[in-house]
Structure 1
Amino acid sequence: MVFVGMDHGTTGVSFTILPSEDEKQVEHFKISREVLSTGEVSALEELSSRVPLDKIKLMAITYAMGDGINTIQPLEMVEKRGIISIGGAGKVTGGGTLVYGELENSGVPILLIPGLHKNTPCMDPRFKAAYSHHASAEKVSIAYNAYLESGWENMIVADISSNTVTLLVEKCKIRGAMDACIGAMGLVHGPLDLEMLRSIDDGHRTANDCFSHAGAVKIAGVDTTVSQVKEEILEKFQAGDDSAILALDTMIMTIVMEIWGLLGIAQKVDGVVLTGSIGALQEPVNFYGALKDYLEEVIPVIHIPPTSGSMGSAQIARDIYNGQKEILGIKVEGYYP
């Protein structure tokens, strides 16, 4: 008996295969968006080469912003792939729609995990009043994996990679989150400041173009494919490039500000969980350690692997199959094992 999770990420689509009888035999694999967008590689074929499809008892996936649904639903119940629009979601690197279509027609029982937005019932009403969108769907999976790994019912989870999104979990329910366009910088995406707003108003750039160049890339002077941004910035950092050093230092500052902001409004926090390709990074740059130094005297800080998105999705599939009706305050609808 096998459960599968999928993380529809910015740089690629990641899968975790989770055998129910031995969690140590977990298998992760990732297919880059650039490869998927060519149509030369089939995600379903890659999955079936690792596990027979008829052995998959349940699969849970994320797709884009997930703002068209607010419960976890079987794929056959979902309309318009569970999104309102693909607009304003950052760099469109392609491939995700092809994967969704393959899975939709695979015959595998699949659940779609929603994002966090103004129609998500478990969110604090003040967050929903302030912001229309809070986090894309894979952040729910990341938070669930963080909960299972840490055992903390009250925590802050920061996913730091191409963008940075930070979530507040209280009493095992997601209560708040700061999306990439309003909070801390990631490598690629970041908040829109006054200069960018003026550029948009003057017709020089679109809002999405600004959002997709508002992270560390704008400080480091990097303009490359999303999949290459991390390597290029880190190479410049190691070479002693002042702009790259300032870019990562600025990222850290904005992330610490965001975490402290959530700490300031939380009723109780047991600890902070960092993840993502940058949040968990210790070599060649100890990004995790730098963030921990700002926080550890006040609150425990741990990290979990960058595979937390797909792993959390697989764990959601397993636990729903075994009868769980709610994940971090998000209800399961229309699935009866």
Structure 2
Amino acid sequence: MIYVGVDHGTTAMRFAALFEGTNEPAKLEILRTDAAAMSGEQIIIALENELGVSRKDIGLIAVTYSMGDGITAIEDIRTVKHRGVQSIEGAGQKTGGGSKVFDAIQNSGISAVVIPGIHDESATDSRMNIFSHSTSPEKIGIAYHAFCKGFQDFVLSDISSNTVTLGVAHGRIIGAIDACIFAPGLRHGPLDVRAIRDVDQGKRSANDAFTNTGVLKRAGYADRYELIEAAERKEPHALLALDTLALFAAMEIASIQVLLKDYGVHGNVFIEGSVAEIPYVVEKIEHHLGVKSHVLDRWSAAIGCAEMARDIAKGAKEILGLEVKFRKTT
């Protein structure tokens, strides 16, 4: 039997397939813009061809989509409404690729579940529900991958286009801090006073401000690769950008550790995302926190979702404290 996980990332859709009896997953990445131009059948065929699977052999797919703020449990894709979201409007960039993949899987006849995000209706620490949204579903995939490695108590910080940090205590998600609240990422970040004034004056939308408030914009670099190359040349603006990412990520991790303390644990630190692939940033975070971290790669969300699919197919009733509303049909 084969189990597939789908990561709805900021720039790409990532698929991971776990084969019964093997530990090494097959992987596929499709840019969201490319997925938007494909038909549903083309997406399923690409999944079959590139992952080396047949749709009839897939036991279950676990799908993440957008903010996942319309559901609080892991739901059967056949019964979930509006793809499990309240609205696609708001913070983030829309290409249509994620919805194409979601609909392709929903219409394929393959059994699938939809992973929720964490938001103000979630059964997490109620103090965190002052914010309407805490984290999108793919972060739960990353967290489950860490859980499957044997960790019950940890803080996970996903640092890439944006920065989101999540806490797990006693194997349950207890809260998270979303990208528009605290630490900036490469492209996205919270709105400061200047941004709020620009929005009030009609100079830009709030979403435009959010998606252009990361360290790249302020440092003047086009993308992560240009930033890394500049940092290797010791350009001051590039090093400042990386130092800023590391400082705020460490502060966000420390804040979730305060929350974990209320649950009687301190927790290991996991770092994931494209920025986690930059050793300079990881070393800085470890220096600020005084700990050694566990670094996960960008495939962790898709693999974690595949691990969820496997365990749900085998009868799991909850995942990291989230109820599973799926019953396998025979």
Partner residue in 2 for 1:273 = 270
Q: Which one of the candidate residues 283, 288, 291 is aligned to 1:289?
A: 283
Structure 1 stretches of 5 or more lacking a match?
A: 224-228
Q: Is the 8 A contact 2:188 2:212 kept in 1?
A: yes
What RMSD, in angstroms, separates the aligned Cα atoms of the two structures? 1.6
Cα deviation, residue 321, structure 1: 0.8
Alignment map for 1:95-174 (pairs within 5 Å): 95-121=97-123, 123-128=124-129, 130-149=130-149, 151-174=150-173
- Within 1, Cα distance between the matches of 2:214 and 2:183? 8
Ranges in structure 2 where 5+ consecutive residues have no aligned partner: none
The corresponding residue for 1:308 is 300
How far the C-alpha of 1:191 sits from its partner, in A, is: 1.0
Q: What one-letter code is carried by the residue in structure 1 that aligns with 2:113? A: L
Going from structure 1 to structure 2, the CA distance change for 1:40 and 1:3 (only over 3 Å counts) comes to closer
Q: What's the CA shift for 1:232?
A: 2.4
Query: How far, CA to CA, are the matches of 2:308 and 2:231 in structure 1?
Result: 37
* Map of 1:197 onto structure 2: 196
Measured after TM superposition, the shift of residue 264 of structure 1 is 2.2
**1:96 is aligned with what amino acid?**
G
Cα deviation 1:193-247 (Å, max 9, x = unaligned): 1110111011101000000011112222235xxxxx2222222322333222211
Answering whether residue 84 of structure 2 is matched by residue 82 of structure 1, we say yes
Q: State whether residues 219 and 246 of structure 1, in contact with CA within 8 Å, keep that contact through their aligned partners in structure 2.
A: no
CA distance in 1, matches of 2:21, 2:195: 52
Which ranges of 4 or more aligned residues in structure 1 deviate by more than 4 Å?
Answer: none
Q: Distance in 1 between matches of 2:55 and 2:145?
A: 24
Does residue 331 of the first structure (1) align with residue 286 of the second (2)?
Answer: no
Quick one: distance in 2 between partners of 1:334 and 1:52? Answer: 22
Counterpart in 1 of 2:228?
234
Q: Distance in 2 between matches of 1:180 and 1:80?
A: 23
Of 314, 325, 330, the residue aligned with 1:322 is 314
C-alpha deviation, 1:300, in angstroms: 4.3
Query: When the two structures are aligned, how many residues end up with a matched partner?
Result: 323
Which deviations, in whole Å up to 9, do the C-alpha atoms of 1:115-172 show, x marking residues without a partner? 0000111x101001x21100001111111101112x2211101111111100011111
Q: TM-score, normalised by structure 1?
A: 0.92
Amino acid at match of 1:125: S
**Shift of residue 179, structure 1, vs aligned partner:** 0.1
Query: Corresponding residue for 1:207?
Result: 206
The residue type equivalent to 1:256 in the other structure is A
TM-score normalised by L of structure 2: 0.94
Q: Is the 8 A contact 1:160 1:277 kept in 2?
A: yes
Which letter does structure 1 place at the counterpart of 2:127? Answer: R
Distance 1:109 1:258 in 2: 37
Correspondence for 1:64 among 63, 66, 78: 66
Alignment of 1:15 with 2:15, yes or no, is: yes
